[in-house]
Structure 1
């Protein structure tokens, strides 16, 4: 029988948040940021480490965690694009997908064609990219920017449960695709 008074040396989680524990908020924030970077840089710990160094410097200067991470990952493992920039969205998502040796089928022969771009809407393109990436077991996530902009990243589908928890701990309100 396990009671609260018993000491389990392997129960690090329980001891980390007990009444006698001292929680270093900066260290906790950095640990969660590191976990997010590992999720959005699957299999590329070097890229995660470079982005973490950039993020840590910004956090040390007092930058908001969401802003620090956004700046550290932009066009490397994430995107932040204006709501009226379908060409920019296609470019950045093609760049991010290429990290996994993937090509997004946008449903047209030339997604840079002006006629296509004139009619294209960013949320619909995000939906298309989400569907195409799921075919290869990846998930395109977006997070609320508080405005008309769109932002997000790509993770492995197997991380679909972890990503919202980690991102939420940092203040990102995420959803799969354009959701």
Structure 2
């Protein structure tokens, strides 16, 4: 039995992480961004491609991928709302859920009712949406924005681990629901 590791020239995965690996960082960033867009547009490669084309040139120019992708996906496959805007959150999450023929039950007959909205808090609403979407095997993700805002997207539940990996590679600090 040998005590040293044999070099396997066919093991491209292992060699890609060595110090002398030749990695095209721009191409890698584009590939990871593409994977994220596929995950947050399940079953809709056309939408993912449109969003990818919208952000591709800016990624090459070195713009922050988190802000760039956030802007490209807003109201299409993601959301970004102020902490003080529960009505906007309900509206955008209802829109995103409708892409998958889902309806979020907010726990009230009329989620646009002024009395309901005056007491509603965005993090609590995110958690309600997370619970309702999990019933249909979707995950609602949010990420740290560094501001008084909430941002996120939806994926299929089966893609939870892939989403964590891909989002983390782009700099998204994601968590399911409001965390």
Q: TM-score range by the shorter chain?
A: over 0.9
Q: Which residue of 1 aligns with 2:111?
A: 111
Q: How many residues align?
A: 177
Residues 50-69 of structure 1 deviation map (CA, whole Å, 9 limit, x = unaligned): 00011112223432111110
Q: Which runs of 4+ in 1 moved over 6 A?
A: none
Q: Which residue of 2 aligns with 1:62?
A: 62
Alignment of 1:15-26 (within 5 A): 15-26=15-26
Give 1:103 deviation, angstroms: 0.2
Q: Which residue of 1 aligns with 2:31?
A: 31
Across the aligned residues of Structure 1 and Structure 2, the Cα RMSD in angstroms comes to: 1.5
Q: Which residue of 1 aligns with 2:155?
A: 155
Give 1:104 deviation, angstroms: 0.2
Q: 5+ residue gaps in structure 1?
A: none
Task: Give the stretch that moved more between structures: 19-28 or 106-115.
Answer: 19-28
Give 1:83 deviation, angstroms: 0.3
Q: 5+ residue gaps in structure 2?
A: none
Task: Give the stretch that moved more between structures: 55-64 or 78-87.
Answer: 55-64
Alignment of 1:21-170 (within 5 A): 21-170=21-170
Asked whether the equivalents of residues 26 and 60 of structure 2 are also in contact (C-alpha less than 8 Å), the reply is: no
Instruction: Give TM-score, length-normalised by structure 1.
Output: 0.94
Residues 121-152 of structure 1 deviation map (CA, whole Å, 9 limit, x = unaligned): 00000000000000000000000000110000
Residues 97-131 of structure 1 deviation map (CA, whole Å, 9 limit, x = unaligned): 00100000001111011111001000000000000
Work out the CA distance in 1 between the residues paired with 2:138 and 2:85.
Answer: 23
Work out the CA distance in 2 between the residues paired with 1:143 and 1:18.
Answer: 30
Match of 1:150, SS state, is strand
Match of 1:161, SS state, is helix
Work out the CA distance in 1 between the residues paired with 2:44 and 2:131.
Answer: 24
Match of 1:160, SS state, is helix
Match of 2:51, SS state, is helix
Instruction: Give TM-score, length-normalised by structure 2.
Output: 0.94
Task: Give the stretch that moved more between structures: 119-128 or 52-61.
Answer: 52-61
